[in-house]
Amino acid sequence: MKKVLVFILSFAFSCAMPRVIVLQDPLNAEEHLNLGYIYERKGELKLAKEEYEKALQKDKNMWKAHFNLGNVYAKMEDYAKAEREYKRALELKPNHPDILNNLAWVLYKQGRKEEALLLIKKAISIDDKEEYRNTLREIEGS
């Protein structure tokens, strides 16, 4: 009887109880944003997109993450999604000329020239950069 009890107890203690392991994301929103930018510069658009989305999970009001996500979608030629992200960025950072420029470009790529012209002219009125003038020339040239 004693041997049976020892066997049962040793069997019971030798079997590990299942454990649930919860891994926490150690990065904050800004760090995900920076990592996404690194991936984007290397051409790793899928990884960049994932990092920008993680940044937004941590901070829904991070306009730069929406802007950069719009840039990724634009590079992937998914202009409708790029437009959506640029508009979200503009809601958080109204009249930002870089956002206006990029939104104008994706609207133009979707065949919405008149809307694009209004936005790029607004961007130029805020900050007269050569890159905005290039966007204007491209839109007007079509």
**70 alpha-carbon distance from chain centroid:** 7
pLDDT: which is higher, 12 or 48? 48
Please tell me the predicted confidence (pLDDT) of residue 46.
98
Which pLDDT does position 16 carry in this prediction?
Answer: 52
Q: Give the whole-angstrom CA distance, residue 117 versus residue 109.
A: 12
**Residue 23: band (very low, low, confident or very high) from pLDDT cuts 50, 70, 90:** confident
Q: Please report how many Cα atoms fall inside a 13 Å half-sphere around the Cα of residue 101, on the Cβ side.
A: 20
How confident is residue 19, by pLDDT bands cut at 50, 70 and 90?
A: low
Region 87-96 average pLDDT: 98
pLDDT of residue 13: 52
Predicted local distance difference test score (pLDDT) of residue 25: 83
| pLDDT tens per residue across span 26-73 | 999 999 999 999 999 999 999 999 999 999 999 999 999 999 999 999
Give residue 7's pLDDT. Answer: 54
